[in-house]
Chain A
Amino acid sequence: MTDDVVDVLIIGAGASGASVAWSLADTRMRIVCMEQGDWTNPSEYPTTAANWESQAYGPYNINPNVRGRDTDYPINNDESAVAVVNFNGVGGSTILYGAHFPRLHPSDFKVKSLDGVAEDWPIDYATLEPYFAQNDRVMGVSGLSGDPMYPPKQPPLPPLPMGLVGETLARGFNKLGWHWWPSDSAIISQPYEGRDKCLNLGPCLSACAQGGKSSTDITYWPEAIRRGVELRTRCRVREITVNEQGFADGVVYYNADGEECYQRAEVVVMACNGVGTPRILLNSTSARFPDGLANRSGMVGKNLMFHPVGFVQGVFEERLDSHKGPQACCILSKEFYESDTTRGFVRGYNMQITRGSGPLNTAMAGYTQGTIPWGPGHHEAFRKRFDHVAAIGIIGEDLPEEHNTVTLDTELTDSDGVPSPKITYRYSDNSLKMIEHGLARGEEAMQAAGAVEITKAGPLRDTGWHLLGTARMGNDPETSVVNHWGRSHDVKNLFIVDGSIFVTGGGVNPASTIQACALYIADTMKKNLANLFD
């Protein structure tokens, strides 16, 4: 295999890896993607069985440390206020994601200029706009145009049903005079590109058996493969190697049998997410790069951002059919999204209305919260809550701080012996104040909507869904890892396209922006093919 050189080697087949592969396929170059996980089979997804809820406690757990597949890598979260969640396989975390699909706002790219905090991005919303639209078309995004909180945009499919949950909360927001809008969702509300529409199964976070949810294994990948990209599963990359000129020249990886292999490449693209990418860069040490590849700035693994999350749950007297419909996608409110320093913090948050859960989760959550007892009284309390709840997720902007890091654990490894990532993370005062504010506003919204019982929780631990900032973009090689089109400042044929390149995180779920960035980087690579390494 060592004589075999591919033109482009992409590491990771998730949201960003799929997008970049699909776009680069135009070039007819020889493109290989290595993914440590497998293809997943929708006919085996939890909702095809009666025990779909309990499967999410085990084999489909969002936490890789609990899920424990040998295609996962364990993560040391002991020194982190937030535990990382993900999925490792073709489609990456989009297999389990909620598919709530808002874009970052124009202001999110300019936080230093506007609010004097963190850094501005070296690109802006207008640069990404065509790629947002392209991504919406390929993924299949449902939504409603005309939201005044965004520049004009046109989702390709009509919005998902709001249901009683959405209507109830919408009335509450209207009473308060607050903004709300049907959520942009990467879930198809009508048949689209050979896929059948969403069936309102409910538990999107346990993978979608119907294929109504737009995970990249069923959107980008089939088309990229048809156009010649080779996707190799069960290939776990341990490190990227460099030649004497300081160019990346290949990767060392383990195949399905755990054998160490080597693949040469002209260009390497990293798409392993905000934890997986710094892990492999830090593990790629050499005489030339003793502190890890592409790390002359010292910024690889630093500035880790999640989104601090709070939840407000309301119980309603009337039945809301809460267990039906896409759990994470309904309506949202951007009333408190933009900075207002009179609130005591900078930047803001998104209020994401979520539907309720199935009966097992309802009963167990009721037990732990003390609202649904076992024994006599169980049925009455259960009836009052099951299908009678709505929730507001408070998703806040986390600002980059150098002490929030991904480093290599000195003991923990994956099944191939590759060092595991260790997360060190604490909330800033700004984040804590933001969540406190959000929980109070969420309570107000629930009251206005008519909730008879309201519970608030946050910031919550098992919410490390959004992994951002650990190899950030910038114009200055002293303070950033990649340039404004994702190319490493230090290694001219190494690109990074996943959430690690985010300079700041905005206050919305990031997948749409991650993929738009990946498409933009791929397009810029294509435009610069003749002088890619200059």
Chain B
Amino acid sequence: MSDIIGSDHPFNQPQQKTLAAVLDTLVPASEDGQMPSATEVDFDQYLRTQGEIALPLIEAVLEQLDNTFAEQSLEERCAQLQAYSEADPLNFQQVLTHVYDAYYQDDRVRVAIGMIKGPVFPQGNEVMAGDLSLLDPVINNSEQHQYRKV
């Protein structure tokens, strides 16, 4: 887990520890090592871009988790978050959206899933033209596929 520490951090030290554990539980690193965990992306920076929107949502989750959350096993942490997601599905979904939003903006993550780094504009993507000879059966059968004459 990364150490989310900063004097202007909106959360206190114990909260930061719990938050890191939440991130790590929601999106752990992949076993093959290709995908980082959500604590490895700069969630701190992400929160700064969100203004006041995300903080109360996250605070609401942290309030519901006990102080030992970070020390618990992955299974126990999953069970606690699952229980929370059932108790407050709307808030949980909003927090999850923020976590995924931060995670899938990260360049390492983007490259690992086959995307370009950063904003998609102006680089754009290549898409193959496709084989238009696949239309032959439609063209050869065009009496069957005629528009309705009026």
Contact = CB atoms under 8 A, between A and B. Distances in A.
Do A and B truly interact?
yes
Interface string B107-140: 0011001110011111111111111101101110
A338 B121 CA distance: 40
A interface, size bucket: 35 or more
B128 A149 contact: no
Interface stretch (A73-81, A133-141, A371-379, A467-475): A371-379
A191 interface: no
Contacts of B27: 374-375, 378
Interface of A: 45, 47-54, 57, 105-107, 109-110, 113-114, 124-125, 144, 146, 148-151, 159, 161-164, 166-167, 170-171, 173-174, 177, 179-182, 199-203, 209-210, 319, 321, 323-325, 334-335, 338, 358-360, 363-364, 367-368, 374-376, 378-380, 382-383, 386-387
Contacts of B25: 374-375
A161 B129 contact: yes
B27 to A, nearest CB: 6
A368 B96 CA distance: 11
A162 B96 contact: no
A202 B119 contact: no
Contact of B142 (A148, A170, A363): A148
Prevailing SS type, chain A contact patch: loop
Contacts of A325: 125, 127
Given A148-B146, A359-B113, A376 B28 contact: yes
B104 A376 contact: no
A163 to B, nearest CB: 4
Nearest to B27: A378
Contact of A359 (B104, B130, B137, B144): B104
A368 B110 CA distance: 22
Interface in B86-105: 93, 96-97, 100-101, 104-105
B4 to A, nearest CB: 19
Contacts of B64: none
Nearest to B29: A379
B121 A201 contact: yes
Given A54-B97, A374-B96, A324 B126 contact: yes
A209 B124 CA distance: 11
B61 interface: no
A106 B148 contact: yes
Contact of B135 (A52, A114, A149, A181): A181
B109 to A, nearest CB: 8
Contacts of A367: 93, 96
Interface of B: 25-28, 30, 34-35, 49, 74, 78, 81, 93, 96-97, 100-101, 104-105, 109-110, 113-115, 118-132, 134-135, 137-139, 141-142, 144-150
B57 to A, nearest CB: 13
A179 B137 CA distance: 9
A51 B47 CA distance: 13
A379 B27 CA distance: 8
A202 B144 CA distance: 34
14 contacts: A48-B121, A52-B120, A54-B97, A105-B148, A106-B148, A106-B149, A114-B150, A148-B139, A162-B130, A163-B127, A167-B134, A182-B132, A375-B26, A378-B27
A106 B125 contact: no
A33 to B, nearest CB: 29
Contacts of A49: 119
Contacts of B137: 174, 177
B113 A124 contact: no
B100 A363 contact: yes
B35 A379 contact: yes
Given A182-B132, A379-B34, 20 more contacts: A51-B49, A106-B148, A109-B150, A146-B139, A161-B128, A164-B128, A170-B134, A177-B137, A180-B135, A181-B135, A199-B123, A199-B124, A200-B127, A209-B121, A360-B104, A363-B100, A374-B26, A375-B74, A375-B81, A376-B78
A341 to B, nearest CB: 14
B104 A363 contact: yes
Given A50-B105, A364-B96, A200 B126 contact: yes
